[in-house]
A and B are shown apart, each in its own frame.
Chain A
Amino acid sequence: MISPLRLKEMICLASFEDGKGEKDLRICQYSRADYVAKSLVSAFLAVTVGDILLIGLAGLLSMEVLEKAAYMTYSGRVIAVLLIFYIVTAALYLFAVWVQADRRYREAEERVRVYEERILKLVEFSDLEESGEMEAPET
């Protein structure tokens, strides 16, 4: 006879693994520092590509700016402005990604902690059931 309580417990765990839990368990494979570092590395690449595209697009779509930039006298100032733009956007972007990754890890960690506790509880139920000390509740 399958205990309805144990069955519900297993449904709950399977439901977690099938949904959000899959991603959470993947996140919690890493330590927090590793997960945040991994996110920052990918964010750095993304923001570099993004800034190149953004500057290129802005330059191409405003031809006057591009023509001005072509003069040698302006090139030094243009490069300085572009560098400052890149540093500022990269810093903001990396900060946002750091906050997001840290928060995501904390949330996932909490859910996985509950999940692991419930696995232990399931084992406990199974033991009690095997030893005949737990009656199946009326459903």
Chain B
Amino acid sequence: MSTSSKVVKMRRTLLGYLPLESPMHKFHPLIKTFFLLIVSAYPLLIDPPEWNLIGAIVMIIIFVIARVPLRILKYYTAIMLNIFWIIFIAYTFFGGYMPGYHVITKIGPIIISWENIMMVFVIYLRMFFAILVIIFFLSVARERDVIVGIRALKLPYVIAYTVGLAFRSIGLSIIDFNTIREAEKARALDIKALPLAQKIKKFGMYIVPLVALALRRTDEVSNALESRGFKFTGVRGYKRTDYIVSKYKFQAKDYVAVIVMISILTLILYLKYFTPYMSLHNSILLKILSRFFEVKT
């Protein structure tokens, strides 16, 4: 058989599908949760835009190594562009003026200053890195990873279970949403084809049956829960087994991953609070840009 006809086995994740051969599957599920918790903090702590840009590039490399289909990023292109324009317009034209700002030009009452343009880059690249982190997490983590993560952290079972049921509920809501949409389409209502204002108006036709169906499912889900021995209070006179968690073991590579993530976080904190390297004044990118805008900082 030629390699081109090889079928790539995929595993469903929160956002799509990930090949079975992805190295991400080899890590303990808790690592994905740690990744979200720790790496999400990096862009918020970093000010210089070039650092966040490096972070974003590293994230894209990680996407490739983890074999995440890069088309997932395409779904977010519109969102990322949208966010850029919003930030660009909000800060450049409506960013306000404070004494000491370097004025580049004035359009009527609107003052365009270097400080506001600088913030466009600082904030957008911070967002860019942060968005890539969350997309990566959603692309590699399964619901099961999140639940195992919570259970492995020894949080009360009811929390882990409710999170799991919430994930399941999203699936049920999507099924119901599609059922309603098909029913509306059959009655010649196609929201997709409508202009935005109409879309908003007609959304009411979705939300009422969606909530009504959720109510009906409340009975079905709670009946199913109790019929399989779920006890709300958790009091049953014996310990509930954690079968799913028992299937995973924390291995050397998991410890290494945690150490690396925490070390980078510590380094960022050190650079930010104990050295001048992470200040905006020392940003190389901003220095280059200020020259472009002919601003003396």
Question: A and B, one complex?
Answer: no
A residues apposed to B, CB below 8 Å: none
B residues apposed to A, CB below 8 Å: none
